[in-house]
Chain A
Amino acid sequence: MDRIPILKLGEALLVTIQVDMHDRLAMALEEDLTTRIVDVAAKGVLIDISALEIVDSFIGRTLANIAMIAKVLDAVTVVVGMRPAVAITLVELGLSLPGVRTALNAERGMAMIRSLLDAEGMAPGEEAEGAA
């Protein structure tokens, strides 16, 4: 079966979703990311969805699950690059992506991960600001 590649970039994992995912592929990504977070002790996960033409409830749920699992494993997740039409549609669909942090692009997403990790470093044991 196809897999979505996961790259390691410093303390973060980087995923760029380039294909129209069927449900099993989305579930495989969830599993693979979980394994990799633990394997490399990743502190951040950046998911670039700029190539995705739609986010339906299943893909949305997968993104929310990944963010929750990552949080349990002490990593922050940022989803970047959502297209405007996708954002409009998501809201109308009724999907609010609970617990998922977003940034406009990969550069801002990486900056967000870095600042969240810095904030954590300054106040050990405390929740990063705004964590859901």
Chain B
Amino acid sequence: MKAVMKAVIRWFRVVSPPAWSIVLALIFYLIIEGFRQYTLTLDAAVETRKFGDVQSGIVVVLAAAYGAFRGIAFHPASRDDYLNWLALTPWRFPQPLPLGPVQLVAQDLVFLGLFEVLVFDATLFRFLLALVPAVFLFVVCSSWAVCVWHTGPRVAAYQMGFALGATLWVSSWSYLAAGGCAIATYLLCARRLGQSFQAFPWESNRPKRQSEGQAHLPSFRLLSATKEEADLGWAFETLGPRRAERLPLQDRLLLSGLVGWWALAITACLPVEIVRPLAALVSIGFGAFHCVGQVGLYIKTHLPPISFLGRLTTGRWLIPSYDVAILPIVYFVVAVGMGTFLTLPGVDWPVRYVVPVVLTLYLVATNWLIPDLERWRLTCETRISPWRYGMASNQYEQL
């Protein structure tokens, strides 16, 4: 019996999340279950159902978290040390990955089955039974798309992203069509992931010297980071000969299109009565956040070369090489104005189309018509400030 238990545990451990996360999820779930059982003793049917629905919602979130874990944690691109070590071994696809499979395996069915049992027990809302595997698969495929994007080829990742958006969109038509689309999307994603592994060791994995440039990508080192790439302080970090390359224009445009496509898919899934206020609110919020973030990224250490008062008194109202970094604010205002105009009575474009179109145009403009960060920092007229290090920004300021 002991041997069987050991074998089962060993079988599960191939893909199981860390023990602490399982314990944490279990405790959280049991607390809610405790409340539900308590309401059962009170014979409060409505309260019991509410707790059951919350519990089911938690299970769906747990399924999503497990999907993200399965999609990313076992992928070598998520860990520098694993990736570098693997590149030195004779491992080649389709041999099994040494630290566990990225593709779905039988153990995942058991975990999914467990989630389904929990949902079935907790709620009468049977729609959630279909939602658990759908959310799990959606998150797994999205995670794969992120991994493929980082390891190349990017075109495959965009195909995966657009296919996932299409699945979401089709789900607003009929569940049958959505099921068919989901299967097709899963097969496409699994194939593209396999093709990505076939190209291992990936080009982006090769070490580069700083001066040769490193792709200016969001860090994908979820579990480790090299100390060499951490802050170098003032003034080496801002004045050192470091150069990061910007994403190619094609990628920036495709990513802008992908955001618009997903916005279209999401708004299609929402009931008509809440699309208008929600879509407007979310898209304006996203645009404002993006615009402030983008401008902040540019100017956080690079201040205008002359104060506002100095601009006024010297007649240099505009400093084109510097002020170009503030253009996203203008684009944002124009986008909001355009969106408002298109939905006015008389023009009457449907909100579910206005939001994706305006959002895409805004992102294309900010990605295309603004010089890349490194070029701007190296050539614009500016005053580099060490304020981000908590140092007085007026070190060089004198009237």
A binds B: no
Enumerate chain B interface residues (CB-CB to A < 8 A).
Answer: none
